Structure 1
Amino acid sequence: MATTFLTAEWRNLIFANYIVDRQVLEPLLPYGTELDEFNGVCYGSLVGFYFQRVKLFGHISVPFHGEFEEFNLRFYVRRKTETGWKRGVVFVKEIVPKLAIALVAKNLYGEPYATHPMRHRWEVDGLTQHIEYEWQVGADWNHIQVSADRLGHPLVAESEEAFITEHYWGYTRRRIDRTSEYEVVHPTWTIYPVTSYDVRCDVATLYGKAFAPFFEQPPVSVFLADGSAVTIKSGAAIR
């Protein structure tokens, strides 16, 4: 039976979604998974959000590591099981400002974490909210920022937002013939329409030159989700 590895709250998640050629993603597929598509195309998402109230095993607080930003690039996969399809995500890289978080995730669980200086800004102006996450690459600051309505709407089934946010499994390649699988449990999130956005990300430096052309184009969609409490359950090895 899966045990709770981590509980936290994820807040103010910005999703900037791009179409990425499957030939770029296929070499990164963990064993036992295949690419998941929405309307016949593969998506890669740049995601910025904020961790709060982080606890290990559901009750252990780590001093000075209870709150921090994260920025990641992820894509979408699925795995066929005896009970049906499991839909999940694979991270190309996850950026956090806390070295200890990155070391534990990388060394113990094989997650592709990196440490960069980060900061964020949340502001409210009347009926509009402004959310921004920044991370430093070399001497430059990158960012993802949105202005969005404060009035959100429930997630619509079968929508693009549902496809992006409702992949409840994580998959990590450990070897060519071994994959770690874990479950991410959270309720559906409220979606806030974005009225303006700006993304500045040094994709070639962070993820490789093969990704760069797809992120030089405008994203096909950008939205903000409110987030919620999240439970990450330790998973199984797929061989």
Structure 2
Amino acid sequence: MDIEPVDHEPRQSFPWAVLRQRWEDLTFLHWAVAPEVVAPLLPAGTRPDTFDGVSYVGLIGFRMVGLGFGRGPGVPYFGTFWETNVRLYSVDDAGRRAVVFRSLDASRLVPVLVARATLRLPYLWSWMRMDRDGDRLTYRCRRRWPGPAGTTSRMAVRVGEPIVDPTPLEHFVTARWGLHTRAHGRTLHLPNWHPRWPLHRAEVLHLDDELVAAAGLPAPVGPPVSVLYSPGVPVRFGPPVAARPRRARPPESQ
């Protein structure tokens, strides 16, 4: 199996967009995790993607802006909301690298219901906000539905200097051009396109998180190995396609 390279340059491998949106004020926190720990949590037909033999779990807070369908405008009110997701890194049997979301807390109920019904994405309705004080950003989240209700997260970071040349690990956890999800009995790959990330160094000032553990992962031990910030990018998603099943080997001759 040929695995696509970790490519930080923008891609577009689909002729038309199913969804359009903009992601703003993103903070990326990442911890190393053993591949065998996350493997049972991935959809059929995918396996953990690794960097130097290690996989990663990400906690990402941001603002979704102007979510809309196809070529249409963003949906008023419901298309703009705060989100915090817990994600893993996957590669499928066709060699496509992607992310797998273990949870996506969002501050608007309607997008949560639509995403759960159509793509079976694990969206959850939460109270959420982000406060800015100069170069300091504080993200807060408290889960409402479906649960576990009351699960919380609070992270505060200080945004630093722009990154001119991201490290290979920073490319690995941000240069992702699709997601994998299990929906309606199939594993799907949903490709996306956006410009190259404008990234900044960032420093964790405070972290009190329950979302990672609530997503079925070991609670992080120690500080994150990577902390990044981005002011944001416009994003387009293409139509989902079924992940290619692995071909069975022909029986060996006796």
TM interval, short-chain normalised:
0.7 to 0.9
Q: Which residue does the alignment assign to 1:183? A: 191
The structure whose residues are more often strand, as a share, is 1
Matched residue of 1:19: which SS?
Answer: strand
Within 2, Cα distance between the matches of 1:178 and 1:155?
38
Q: Does 1:50 align with 2:63?
A: yes
Q: Structure 2 vs 1, CA of residues 148 and 61 (structure 1 numbering), >3 Å: closer, same or farther? A: closer
* Residue identity matched to 1:192: H
The equivalent position to 2:39 in structure 1, one of 5, 23, 26, is 26
Q: Is the 8 A contact 1:89 1:170 kept in 2?
A: yes
Deviation readout 1:12-53 (Å, 9 max, x if unpaired): 211110112323311122122221111210100001011112
RMSD in angstroms over aligned alpha carbons? 2.1
1:205, CA displacement in angstroms? 6.0
Aligned mates of 1:21, 1:153 — CA distance in 2: 28
Q: Distance in 2 between matches of 1:79 and 1:113?
A: 22
Mean Cα deviation higher: 139-148 or 91-100: 139-148
Amino acid at match of 1:163: F
Residue from 128, 151, 162 that aligns with 1:118? 128
Deviates more, 1:93-102 or 1:195-204: 195-204
Mapping of residues 62-77 of structure 1, within 5 Å: 62-77=75-90
**CA, structure 1 residues 106+218, in 2 after alignment: closer, same or farther (shift >3 Å)?**
same
Q: Which has the larger radius of gyration?
A: 2
Of the three residues 84, 99, 103, the one matched with 2:113 is 103
Match for residue 155 of structure 2? 144
For residue 153 of structure 1, report the CA deviation from its aligned partner.
2.2
1:97 and 1:80 map into 2 onto residues whose CA distance is 34
Identity %: 27
Q: Match for residue 227 of structure 1?
A: 232
Distance in 2 (CA, whole Å) between partners of 1:140 and 1:92 is 14
Q: TM-score, normalised by structure 1?
A: 0.86
Name the CA distance, whole Å, in 2 between partners of 1:10 and 1:56.
15
2:17 pairs with 1:4: yes
Structure 2 residue aligned with 1:212: 218
Aligned partner letter, 1:180: L
Deviations 1:44-96 (A, max 9, x none): 00010111122222314323113211101101011243xxx321000001000
Shift of 1:121: 1.3
Query: Which of 153, 158, 180 is the equivalent residue of 1:171?
Result: 180
Q: Is 1:79 aligned with 2:80?
A: no
User: So what's the TM-score if we normalise by structure 2?
Assistant: 0.81
- For 1:140 and 1:35, the matched residues in 2 are separated by 26
2: CA distance, partners of 1:98 / 1:160: 32
Corresponding residue SS for 2:137: strand
For structure 1, the 5+ residue unaligned runs are none
Structure 2 unmatched ranges of 5 or more: 1-13, 144-148, 246-254
Is this contact kept in 2: 1:155–1:191, CA < 8 A?
no
Counterpart of 2:65, as a letter, is Q
Please state how far the C-alpha of 1:140 moved relative to its aligned partner.
6.8
Letter in 2 for 1:144: M
Q: For this pair of structures, how many residues does the alignment match?
A: 226
Matched position secondary structure for 1:142: strand
Distance 1:60 1:167, change over 3 A: same
Tell me if structure 1 keeps the 8 A contact 2:58–2:88: yes
Alpha-carbon separation, structure 2, partners of 1:234 and 1:70: 22
Does structure 1 retain, via aligned residues, the 8 Å contact 2:66–2:76?
no
